[in-house]
Structure 1
């Protein structure tokens, strides 16, 4: 016979489903954002990937306060119980976690089985043995949270010493309701959607590759002049079509002008240029971070800087390059990096395009 302790908690309520979906979405979004931020070297994206779970945990804690208050208000029930089995499950300190199998016999309800894990001091461990009668307490609506009372009152201690408890059938075993398959499914769905959303937003930065359009051998060569521009309050990107390059004369300055049109000067935090991808990160309103005017960069010097980095730093077979302009200190720094089979190398130039430091490949 099973005990009656009120209606069991509903695992698949709309609130539980929404919480599972949101948790899955936060996990997928934060992990993907952090990895993507490391790949494209975006500090704000990495910070967002780390901060999102913290905010989510805080919200869950705050929204769960009423439920915890209701659970704390439920009166505790005291009952006698018989130890059916016990097994130490680990621990190297003075308190050892022990898995107990108990038959609990309330005074006004049928007996039932329950499994609990509780820390027992090594000194007291010999006192707990199968068939011994102990005193337990548990919330009336959550009997699976029973705990053995180490120092019961005199009345309960005397009752435990004189009483006998018969073993309850295994069919009366009570346990915490599981979340169910539906909650797991919506959590997985949220994780996949969160991951897909981040990949979709940053697909240009993550999946851009330096490729050359293939043309038929007998046909004339055709160059594409298409480009894709995406601008928001925080950033802007321009992606060129196949056959184009930001090292082409005037191409880079035109792209920067298209991203900064209508904005005030001294607004950029970072400018990153690759073969066919330009990214500009703008300073948020009111921030005190060091910024600069992206239109003031020596774009006419960029092709020569890339050529010098590709030919004079020990990378004999350069495969990719990247230019990063930022103002971490008082002046603007232009860094050109190249990678190849020999490793990576870089050079730094000042705001006028003059090389001030070289780091050859090792």
Structure 2
């Protein structure tokens, strides 16, 4: 049984402790989810928040506990004699070693009780502790299980140790720290899960609104009956973004879009063309420089769907998340590159100006 000496033992099962455990679990879950989601969607502020949040919470937790620690430090510990029932070195260390003691503590103003503690003892002083030996101990009045052996007691207590003869307390009279309730673990787990769910729900659009690249290319949905797109053209670049449900891999879509960009524009040269599921970007070659460009209308757009399909089906990316086609002639000849990313890694293939594949790089 557990006995009490002095004031009643503090209860650990309070709403404040439950709330603190829930908040701690929530911070851990939020931090982990923020780091993972921030890394996936490439959201730097979210990723940094996941790293900083635990440090800020830890600092606030430390500051909030300062008054409690000050109160505990102000409590005058009780001093008593104790008999060593048994001792055992837990593990070997170069100098101080942890030693597990079983003690019978005999307070002057209360009944004796047994307690088990672990305390570091220097190898040189280890021989001073032996079974049935008497030592001086101290403990907080409200936490009698937090017993510490006084290594250098006052002369008065040394005199009492020399003349003391203590009886062993029965094993049934044992004091221990109150066991943690299983509800605390459940509350912390609940907070962790809720924190992670909140982050995922807040950024679900970034996580799950992919450009439908995981769908089979052969089963791509037909264009919507009233297609819409947004076109922005300047002197140095052009950008076309399709509406929902459309794709530049739909039959004739690229030809129509390029035709609208080159209509009435003469033979303007392009420096780079980048095609994604619903986004076409063109960088035009400056007119006053000799940079290598190419006719935007000269690309084999009818070959692009087949190139993307080959890259997604034959290079080891079984669950493609995104693809991109880049066309340029920075190396002297017109080159078309298709890059596919997925859970298995990144794969790519390279084709010449007519769309014939000349190089393949499997996923890695």
**TM-score grouping bracket, smaller chain normalisation:** 0.5 to 0.7
- Residue 161 of structure 2 is matched in structure 1 by 160
Judged with a 3 Å threshold, the aligned counterparts in structure 2 of structure 1 residues 125 and 193 are, in CA distance, closer, same or farther, namely: same
Structure 1: gaps of 5 or more residues: 228-237, 251-272, 279-296, 324-334, 348-358
Corresponding position of 1:125: 126
Matched-pair contact (CA < 8 Å) for 2:26–2:188: yes
CA distance in 1, matches of 2:176, 2:187: 23
- Write the mapping of 1:279-294 to structure 2, written as runs, cut at 5 A: none
For normalisation by structure 2, the TM-score amounts to 0.65
Partner of 2:247: 245
User: How well do the aligned residues superpose, as a CA RMSD in angstroms?
Assistant: 4.4
Residue 210 of structure 1 corresponds to 213
Instruction: Give 1:55's aligned residue.
Output: 56
Aligned residues: 287
Residue correspondence of structure 1 range 1-362 to structure 2 within 5 A:
2-207=3-208, 208=210, 210-212=213-215, 223=224, 243-245=245-247, 275=277, 298=282, 317=315, 319-321=320-322, 337-339=339-341, 344=346
1:39-73 Cα deviation digits (max 9, x unpaired): 33333222111111111111110111111111111
**Does the 8 Å CA contact 1:135/1:148 hold for their aligned counterparts?**
yes
Tell me if structure 1 keeps the 8 A contact 2:97–2:121.
yes
CA distance in 2, matches of 1:221, 1:177: 67
SS of alignment partner, residue 175 of structure 2: coil
Taking the aligned partners of 2:30 and 2:242, their CA distance within structure 1 comes to 24
User: Is the 1:32–1:199 Cα contact (8 Å) retained in structure 2?
Assistant: yes
C-alpha change, 1:226 and 1:178, in structure 2 (3 Å) is: farther
In structure 1, how many angstroms separate the alpha carbons of the residues matched to 2:207 and 2:86?
56
Which structure: larger Rg?
2
* Alpha-carbon contact 1:3-1:111 (below 8 Å) kept: no
CA contact (8 A) 2:6 2:141 kept: yes
**Take 2:179 and 2:27, find their aligned partners in 1: how far apart are those partners?**
21
Deviation (angstroms), 1:221: 5.4
Deviation at 1:107, TM superposition (A): 0.7
Following TM superposition, by how much is the alpha carbon of 1:165 offset from its aligned partner in structure 2, in angstroms? 1.3
